Amino acid sequence: MKKNLLILLSLLTLIFSCGKVKEHENTLEDKIAKSGIYYEIFVRSFADSNGDGIGDLNGIKAKLPELKELGVEGLWLTPIFSSPSYHKYDVTDYYNIDPEYGTIEDFKELVKSSHDLGIKVIIDLPVNHTSSEHPWFKDVVSNKDSEYRKFYRIEKNDNPNIDFKAAPLGGTAWHKLNDEEKYFGIFWGGMPDLNLEEKEVRKELHKISKFWVDEVNIDGYRIDAAPHAYGKGEYSKEINVLEANLKWWSEFRNELIKTKKDIYIVGEVWTAPEIVAKYFTVFDSNFNFELSENGIFNALIRESARELSSKLTRVYGLYEKSNAEFIDAPFLTNHDQSRLSEKLPDLERQKVAASILLTLPGNPYIYYGEELGMKGRKPDELIREPYIWNDELQTSWEAIELNTETVDYHSQKNNPDSLLNHYKLWINIRKENDEIRYGKFEAVETDNNKVFAYKMKYKESEKLLLHNLSNKEQKVNIEGKEYLLNSYESKVI
């Protein structure tokens, strides 16, 4: 009887463990190996090697010396797969480079040249959906008996278990396929969502992710729209969307590390920090939207250090509960947001924002052109204007509208007081101080709300960081010692 009971308990343990997410946790060694300063490149806008006006992979390769000089240690390339759109988040072929950007051979050369300079390369992976022009979906539209119907979320109009009025992102998510059926596309009808309940789909996505690691030796992925893999309103109400997403991304990671053990994965989880924290059990990093949207900007506009200190202490505490050695991915703006200079038009506050970004924990991400003070606001095309090189690699796929007065790269390089050289300075400061590069954040209470103060602690050492958020000289007393900071000055002590 006792033996039978032990067997039963063992079986129950096995059953429950099979349904549980295998949590990922970094070690300090992982954190150190995967650390770096990343630079997001909207490929179409960066550098044009063949004179067609469109940025391409060879253009990026030609500009690697400039990126190395800036201090960049990793590149994040927005989607480069075959696609009918200018942004290429709607893919038609996951196994090929879009001809506008080059070839697989060009990509291999870019990755190799980057690695030779000590620069890692990660690429955007949009697998929540495909393009409606993808051969799979086109076959579904033209053939009611298509073998690819199961690849997409297609439901009969009268299915009572589906909420066809669901609008998780504001607009309708269910779109007409034919008179009897609808398909789910959380972003819009041109991006039909893949069906992750289908094993063949998951198998294909594993194959895609491994292909680029094997074929080109990339260093990792930026996961687009991670919390929408199982979208709200996409499946029946019995499915717990958060649990389903975490289980899927855990499976994705565990398969991928069979090909590359030290793969680096950063997730786009654009939601509340409490939810973002949970994704540190499946990804190495997650973008810190709370810092980007409600953190550094607000602190500088309101001149309120305590608000930012409190926010970061809370967010980092949430993250640490999920993964003790979490690798944050702080950033100021990205390709979906108005640029830094729209909220902070004056150069001095942009410099302070950069200094703060580059002295916080994790892997800071710089959006291309941020280091030049490029302007950009909605619609999206104006957030993605051509980088201002003013040389033979200048792109021109769209007219420069907001950045006609932005000082170009070469002019800023020769100006010691430029924003570009400010970024170089603080990138070097970060690299030279392990406390900042690998350390943990500890807020410091002060008698002056206009000074953002914190310590970065690593092993037995620490650095004190001070940032004056105002345009006036400030004094601050910390642990019995008084410090003087000039207008918008940042210090490492």
pLDDT tens-digit readout, 253-266: 999 999 999 999 99
Could you read off the pLDDT of 379-414 as tens digits, one per residue?
999 999 999 999 999 999 999 999 999 999 999 999
The Cα-based distances of 74 to 103, 335, 367 in angstroms read 21, 17, 12
- Residue 17 pLDDT: 38
Domain residues of the chain, as ranges? 28-128+199-438, 135-184
Could you read off the pLDDT of 465-475 as tens digits, one per residue?
999 999 999 99
Confidence of residue 14 (pLDDT cuts 50, 70, 90): very low
Q: Which runs of consecutive H residues, i.e. helices, occur in 143-234?
A: 199-216
DSSP state letter for 78: P
- Residue 293 pLDDT: 84
Instruction: Count other Cβ atoms within 10 Å, centred on residue 432.
Output: 10
Nearest to 128 by CA among 301, 267, 316: 267
- Residue 2 pLDDT: 38
Task: Determine which one of 56, 106, 219, 224 is catalytic.
Answer: 224
Q: How many CA atoms lie within 13 A of 223 on its CB side?
A: 31
In contact, 395 and 60? CB cutoff 8 Å? no
Confidence of residue 21 (pLDDT cuts 50, 70, 90): low
In contact, 148 and 140? CB cutoff 8 Å? yes
Instruction: Give Cα 302 distance to the centre of its chain.
Output: 27
Active site (annotated) includes residue 106: no
- Average pLDDT rounded to a whole number, residues 342-368: 97
pLDDT higher than 50, residue 6? no
Q: What type of residue sits at position 441?
A: F
How much is the pTM?
Answer: 0.93
- Residue 1 pLDDT: 42
Residues 6+ apart with CB under 8 A from 68: 117, 118, 119
pLDDT higher than 60, residue 321? yes
In contact, 326 and 34? CB cutoff 8 Å? no
**Average pLDDT of the chain, as a whole number:** 94
- Average pLDDT rounded to a whole number, residues 55-82: 98
End-to-end CA distance of the chain: 68
Confidence of residue 39 (pLDDT cuts 50, 70, 90): very high
- Residue 237 pLDDT: 83
Confidence of residue 16 (pLDDT cuts 50, 70, 90): very low
- Average pLDDT rounded to a whole number, residues 183-205: 97
* Between residues 302 and 12, the one the model is more confident about: 302
Phi-psi region of 88 (alpha: psi -120 to 50; beta: other; left: phi over 0): left
Nearest to 362 by CA among 427, 433, 285: 285
Structure tokens at 224: 């687009």
pLDDT higher than 90, residue 18? no
Q: Which runs of consecutive H residues, i.e. helices, occur in 42-181?
A: 43-46, 57-62, 64-70, 104-116, 135-142
Could you read off the pLDDT of 120-158 as tens digits, one per residue?
999 999 999 999 999 999 999 999 999 999 999 999 999
pLDDT higher than 60, residue 463? yes
CA–CA separation, 387 vs 370, rounded Å? 10
* pLDDT above 90 as % of the chain: 92
- Residue 294 pLDDT: 84
* pLDDT above 70 as % of the chain: 96
Could you read off the pLDDT of 172-184 as tens digits, one per residue?
999 999 999 999 9
- Residue 5 pLDDT: 41
| 5-9, 237-241, 478-482, 484-488: segment of lowest average pLDDT | 5-9
- Residue 13 pLDDT: 38
Task: Determine which one of 98, 234, 268, 290 is catalytic.
Answer: 268
Structure tokens at 208: 């895609």
- Residue 490 pLDDT: 98
Nearest to 285 by CA among 232, 245, 331, 347: 331
Q: What is the sign, positive or negative, of the torsion defined by CA atoms of 388, 391, 392, 393?
A: negative
- Residue 22 pLDDT: 55
Could you read off the pLDDT of 211-234 as tens digits, one per residue?
999 999 999 999 999 999 999 999
Domain 28-128+199-438 sits in CATH 3.20.20.80 = yes
CA–CA separation, 256 vs 207, rounded Å? 9
Active site (annotated) includes residue 105: no
